[in-house]
Amino acid sequence: MKKIYIYDTTLRDGAQSEGISFTVKDKIRISQKLDELSVDFIEGGWPGANPKDNEFFSQARKALKLKNAKLVAFGSTRRAASSANKDAILQNLLKAETGYITIFGKSWDLHVKEVFKVSPKENLEMIEDSVRFLKKHGKKVFFDAEHFFDGYNENPRYALETLEAAVSGGAEVIILCDTNGGAVTSTIFEVVEDVAAKIGVPLGIHCHNDSDMAVANSVAAIEAGCVQVQGTFNGYGERCGNANLVSILPTLKFKLRLNCLSQFAFKELTEASRYIADIANVKQQDSQAYVGKSAFSHKAGVHINAMLKNARTYEHIAPEEVGNKRRMLISELSGKSSVIMKAEEFGLKFDGKSDKAKEILEHVQDLENKGYQFELAEASLILLMKKAAKLFKKYFEMDEFRVMVEKRHAAPVVSEATVKLKIGKENVHTVSLGDGPVHAMDQALRKALIKYYPALNKMHLSDFRVRVLDEKAGTAGKVRVLIQSQDEIDSWWTVGVSENIIEASWIALRDSIEYKFMKDESGNKK
């Protein structure tokens, strides 16, 4: 089986993504996660380019114990009119003390003339000298041929000469880069095939996503002969991002049957994608291929009915292969089969011949017609089903609530909530202040319930969303409130709808607390 080497550049190219800034500690943690996945190469950064990258390589030497991956330092060829022995860029690369070094050089004569402002011949010397210098110091060198596909399109002879210069210097692998991200897949395949026939060293591929084709282009390059693929986790990168390794890897493994990562590593792929997204402080896209929350979600009744008979009807791969899971969504588009299958996810058994599933479906359709949405708010859907099946324990009842918001002169706005609950046989009355009306209500509820349910201390609200459902009605329109809650184990969403934003918030807040109690009592997340 052909071995494909995985080269991750999340720590460098990924950090160029707008809104992402990794600390040294972040980079260490991501490196450890990539090593657990058995990624072959981890590009740590550009030593000498900034203090953070210098500190990372220093810390990596002391604290980073990689078992599977090789750490790589990244930089450029020597500067013009400079000798390799005295060039600061190359000296800093050596100071990183990594066994592997990647340097990039210009393979498009436009850049040679307009950016470097050197002769084509001098650029070739810069490439060969730099690679040979690093090899002389015992390093294994990868050469990134920057803008190769643009250069090959305009001046194929010179583009090939830049590769030959790197080979002459002793480069281990030549990486062909679609730096502007504008090449189409057929071109990538043809060019890689052509270059592979002319260059006597292994080839790699490095694609950017400016035409939304980076994954397809990377896979095509592998099919055409490349043995190394470069990319970032979740496709992070400058402009439109880099080739997304999270999509490329399972495609290579399960579609092309190529050797990359272990079977165990693939079962950790979804978790790793979310872990790195967490560190990057970027919400993972629900629609992300293979690992997204919606990647194996089914909504239409016809689809779900077919899935009940054979999962292959609407899934190109088993979600478990990449550590993801199947989700059956309940909405106005669903059928009775959807309800039965969704109920089974929650440990509820409904006889397909009974009217209970039909009643739940009709109730969901009625609520969605009024503005509810259960695709995200699965906790509210679970409660709805449990109540319909008469399996729900009532933890508390609301007798009354009142929320006041007051503004006096230059003083800050004050929110105060009063709640009257019935908990078992006791009546409880509490008042609390908050930063806003919903926060005040949350605080008052907690004050009332904490004595009876101390586990509330481990739960907090982590997100709050409001949407006006009828823009034409303006402030009189219905609103949908979604609340995300979290404890030390997991997180969940609940929903409320009303013409009154406070009531909609109360409904979602009540559901979030009831779900917490219910799942704690059952001893699992469901």
Q: What is the secondary structure of 145-165 as a DSSP string?
A: EETHHHHHHH-HHHHHHHHHH
Q: What pLDDT, on the 0 to 100 scale, is given for residue 337?
A: 63
Q: Is residue 313 part of a domain?
A: yes
- Locate 483 and state its tokens: 């609340």
pLDDT surpassing 60 at residue 474? no
Cα angle for residues 29, 281, 60 (degrees, 5° grid): 20
Q: Is residue 68 part of a domain?
A: yes
Task: For residue 312, name the pLDDT band (cuts at 50, 70, 90).
Answer: confident
Share of the chain above pLDDT 90, in %: 65
pLDDT surpassing 70 at residue 207? yes
Instruction: List CB contacts of 418: < 8 A, sequence separation 6 or more.
Output: 400, 401, 402, 403, 429, 430, 431, 444
Asked if residue 418 and residue 484 are part of one domain, the reply reads: yes
| Position with higher pLDDT, 151 vs 294 | 151
Strands 140-146 and 479-486: unpaired
Asked if residue 184 and residue 133 are part of one domain, the reply reads: yes
Mean pLDDT of 13-17: 96
| Position with higher pLDDT, 466 vs 350 | 466
pLDDT surpassing 70 at residue 145? yes
Inter-residue contact 100 to 138 (CB < 8 Å)? no
Asked if residue 158 and residue 11 are part of one domain, the reply reads: yes
- Locate 201 and state its tokens: 């060293």
Inter-residue contact 208 to 218 (CB < 8 Å)? no
Domain span including residue 477 = 397-522
Task: For residue 118, name the pLDDT band (cuts at 50, 70, 90).
Answer: very high
Task: For residue 152, name the pLDDT band (cuts at 50, 70, 90).
Answer: very high
Mean pLDDT of 442-448: 93
Residue tagged 């030390």 (tokens): 488
E strand map for 316-413: 327-328, 397-406
Q: What pLDDT, on the 0 to 100 scale, is given for residue 281?
A: 83
pLDDT surpassing 60 at residue 397? yes
Q: Is residue 387 part of a domain?
A: no
Amino acid at 20: I
13: closest CA among 236, 283, 239?
236
Sheet hosting strand 491-498, strand order edge to edge: 460-468, 479-486, 491-498
Mean pLDDT of 413-422: 93
Which three-class secondary structure state does DSSP give residue 345? helix
pLDDT surpassing 80 at residue 357? no
Q: Report yes or no on whether pTM surpasses 0.85.
A: no
| Position with higher pLDDT, 204 vs 341 | 204
**Residue 125 sits in a domain of what CATH number?**
3.20.20.70
* Mean pLDDT value across the chain: 90
Asked if residue 159 and residue 41 are part of one domain, the reply reads: yes
Q: What pLDDT, on the 0 to 100 scale, is given for residue 278?
A: 83
Which three-class secondary structure state does DSSP give residue 391? coil
DSSP labels, 110-149: HHIIIII---HHHHHHHHHHHHHHHHHTT-EEEEEEETHH
Q: What pLDDT, on the 0 to 100 scale, is given for residue 16?
A: 95
Q: Show which of 229, 248, 280 is a domain's final residue.
A: 280
pLDDT surpassing 60 at residue 34? yes
Interatomic CA distance for residues 101 and 94, integer angstroms: 9
Instruction: List CB contacts of 136: < 8 A, sequence separation 6 or more.
Output: none
| Position with higher pLDDT, 464 vs 166 | 166
Task: For residue 526, name the pLDDT band (cuts at 50, 70, 90).
Answer: very low
Share of the chain above pLDDT 70, in %: 93
Most confident segment among 340-349, 421-430, 484-493: 421-430
Cα angle for residues 420, 424, 429 (degrees, 5° grid): 20
Range with lowest mean pLDDT among 206-210, 310-314, 487-491: 310-314
Backbone conformation region of residue 38, classed left if phi is above 0, alpha if psi is from -120 to 50, else beta: left
525: closest CA among 360, 285, 325?
325
| Position with higher pLDDT, 438 vs 390 | 438
Asked if residue 221 and residue 118 are part of one domain, the reply reads: yes
Q: What pLDDT, on the 0 to 100 scale, is given for residue 503?
A: 93
Interatomic CA distance for residues 150 and 110, integer angstroms: 9
Asked if residue 257 and residue 364 are part of one domain, the reply reads: no
Inter-residue contact 515 to 496 (CB < 8 Å)? no
Total structural domains within the chain: 3
Q: Is residue 459 part of a domain?
A: yes
Q: What pLDDT, on the 0 to 100 scale, is given for residue 412?
A: 86
Q: What pLDDT, on the 0 to 100 scale, is given for residue 61?
A: 94
pLDDT (tens digit per residue) in 225-259: 999 999 999 999 999 999 999 999 999 999 999 99
Q: Is residue 480 part of a domain?
A: yes
Backbone conformation region of residue 474, classed left if phi is above 0, alpha if psi is from -120 to 50, else beta: left
Q: Show which of 319, 352, 369 is a domain's final residue.
A: 369
Q: What pLDDT, on the 0 to 100 scale, is given for residue 490?
A: 85
Asked if residue 362 and residue 253 are part of one domain, the reply reads: no
Asked if residue 179 and residue 135 are part of one domain, the reply reads: yes
Interatomic CA distance for residues 253 and 251, integer angstroms: 5
**Residue 429 sits in a domain of what CATH number?**
3.30.160.270
Q: Is residue 390 part of a domain?
A: no
* Backbone φ and ψ of 93, nearest 5°: -60, -40
Asked if residue 458 and residue 430 are part of one domain, the reply reads: yes
pLDDT surpassing 70 at residue 472? no
Burial class (CB in 10 A: 0-12, 13-18, 19+), 157: exposed
Mean pLDDT of 274-278: 89
Q: Is residue 86 part of a domain?
A: yes
- Locate 327 and state its tokens: 């989700």
Q: Is residue 375 part of a domain?
A: no
Asked if residue 451 and residue 346 are part of one domain, the reply reads: no
pLDDT surpassing 90 at residue 507? yes
Inter-residue contact 101 to 73 (CB < 8 Å)? yes
- Locate 450 and state its tokens: 């904490």
Most confident segment among 203-217, 307-321, 324-338, 428-442: 203-217
* Backbone φ and ψ of 236, nearest 5°: -60, 150
Asked if residue 328 and residue 266 are part of one domain, the reply reads: no
Amino acid at 432: S
Contacts of the segment 425-429: beta carbons below 8 A, 24+ positions apart: 427/399
Inter-residue contact 272 to 262 (CB < 8 Å)? no
Range with lowest mean pLDDT among 48-62, 200-214, 396-410: 396-410
Interatomic CA distance for residues 276 and 22, integer angstroms: 11
pLDDT (tens digit per residue) in 322-353: 999 887 666 554 556 667 777 777 777 766 66
Asked if residue 173 and residue 27 are part of one domain, the reply reads: yes
Strands 414-423 and 426-434: antiparallel
| Position with higher pLDDT, 191 vs 307 | 191
pLDDT surpassing 70 at residue 422? yes
Which residues are registered as beta bridge partners of 333?
none
Q: What pLDDT, on the 0 to 100 scale, is given for residue 525?
A: 46
pLDDT surpassing 60 at residue 506? yes
Q: What pLDDT, on the 0 to 100 scale, is given for residue 453?
A: 92
Which three-class secondary structure state does DSSP give residue 59? helix
Q: What pLDDT, on the 0 to 100 scale, is given for residue 331?
A: 54
